[in-house]
Copies of this chain bind each other. A is one copy, B any other.
Amino acid sequence: MAVGAQDVKALRERTGAAMMDCKAALDESGGDMDKAVEILRVKGQASASKRAGRATSQGTVASYIHAGGSPGVLVEVQCETDFVARNEDFQEFAREVAIHIAAAAPQYVAIEDIPEDAREAERRVFEEKAKQEGKPDNVVERIVEGQLKKWAADVVLLEQEHVRSDRYEGKTIEQLRADLAAKTGENIRIARFTRYAVGEE
């Protein structure tokens, strides 16, 4: 089946992928739109791992102040080029992450950012609790590992589902970040954030 310009355009609008990649994906799928999306997604993941190492020296700082003046959030999101930094999707992502942080109050950007002593303190609490509940020693470790994993997902920004779950279909911030990276073709990085609630300091 011949691939029409209309299909290429539709696929591009749906995925944000480059025109040439859309054409190639539709050729490969024999014009099947859903299959072409799948092909682009797989390809996107391959290039995402290449992207992840690339330097991000450009970007933007976004803020969100809740009605009434508290909490307030500042977040820095980085990309590779000034061109993407000024892109509307990129700007919106930064704003939406700020809004999310205001509501969800994460403590760290990524799991790697959790300090070892914070993790150990949490581990001791879970261990103590599991033992007090009379769990046998041989299962305590497994229970604690599970609880630690859940705890990390709760306090880490990238692991959290965006609070606007209706709008973002339960996607995590990491998934939204990866989507934006695929769409822009650049490495996208949430560099840091600050959240102030009045009197909480």
Contact = CB atoms under 8 A, between A and B. Distances in A.
A69 B63 contact: no
B58 A85 contact: no
Nearest to A70: B61
B196 A192 contact: yes
Nearest to A198: B59
Interface stretch (A2-10, A73-81, A164-172): A73-81
Number of copies: 2
Nearest to A57: B199
**Which residue, A65, A72, A192, A198, has most C-beta atoms of chain B within 10 A?**
A198
Interface residues of A, number: 30
Nearest to A73: B74
A191 interface: yes
B72 A74 contact: yes
A49 B85 CA distance: 47
Given A72-B76, A194-B74, A198-B78, A65 B65 contact: no
18 contacts: A57-B199, A58-B198, A59-B198, A60-B69, A61-B71, A61-B72, A61-B196, A63-B63, A63-B74, A69-B85, A69-B91, A72-B76, A74-B194, A78-B198, A85-B198, A191-B196, A192-B196, A194-B196
